[in-house]
Amino acid sequence: MKILALDTALNACSVAIIEGENIRAFSHEERSRGHAETLLPLIQTLMEEAQFSFKDLDLIAVSVGPGTFTGLRIGLAAARGLSLASSTPCIGVTTLEALAASVKPEKAKGRPIVATADARRKEIYTQSFAYQEKDVFPSPIGAAEAVPIEKADRAVPKRPFVILGNGAQLLMRAGKIQSETCEILELDSNPDARLIAAIASRRGLPPKGSPSPAPLYLRKPDAKLPGGIDPTSKI
């Protein structure tokens, strides 16, 4: 299956094109802004590198959050537009499951995996995962949520666990996790489009008529449109 995967949800612009288990083209650049100007030209460049046309694609996969509101909207708009223009199915993968998928079973060593992201406003996004028997990627063992850092104790497992993402150091500095009971993994704190593509490949094509992927918003945005309109209601 030929898959185009993309992520602009946090602080990177990540695009991958895979065919089966082969990575045909890939780019992953850390950036906190400029996604809108970078994403589409990058996709075009990588499609040429992979020697694919958009009509060759079997599936488009995109990160749906949680993440920055602007970043999510850029990625989802691009994925939806390309899906519509090429008549290619499109599915969503959450940023937290993509982060958790970067932890190999031998690194987890049977412990729960806590994926985090800085949600700003003294909050973090977090979700716990664990490998089940014969899992290729870890499965959720709790819901994704936005949690105040001061109350984050309740959102982490009560037994030893591993943790990754840029929320981990925030929790450590706040004294909400202890080195005796958790291990902070030094892995990329942004989703990797190759993993998003691999997760999408495992899921397969969505049923015909499935709705387009929608953003996963776990809290209200900091900014409002003129007139006090919530921008999350417009996507």
- Residue 230: per-residue pLDDT: 52
Which amino acid appears at position 62 of this protein? V
Given the structure tokens 């959050």, which residue do they identify?
65
Q: How far apart are CA 157 and CA 47, in angstroms?
A: 42
**3: phi then psi, degrees, rounded to nearest 5:** -130, 135
For the cut 50, the answer to whether the pLDDT of residue 4 exceeds it is yes
Report the sign of the C-alpha dihedral through residues 6, 189, 106, 127, in that order: negative
Classified as helix, coil or strand, 86 is: helix
The pTM (predicted TM-score) of the whole model is 0.92
pLDDT grade, residue 74 (50/70/90)?
A: very high
Q: Which CATH number applies to 103-184: 3.40.50.720, 3.30.420.40, 3.30.470.20, 3.40.30.10?
A: 3.30.420.40
Reported as a single tens digit per residue, the pLDDT across 175-231 is 999 989 999 999 999 999 999 999 999 999 999 999 999 999 997 765 554 555 555
Domain with CATH 3.30.420.40 in the chain: 2-95+190-234, 103-184
Q: Quickly count: other Cβ atoms within 10 Å of residue 211's Cβ.
A: 7
Query: In this predicted model, which residue has the larger pLDDT, 225 or 50?
Result: 50
CATH code: domain 2-95+190-234 is 3.30.420.40
In the three-class reduction of DSSP (H, G, I as helix; E, B as strand; rest coil), residue 147 is classed as strand
Mean pLDDT confidence for 55-80 = 96
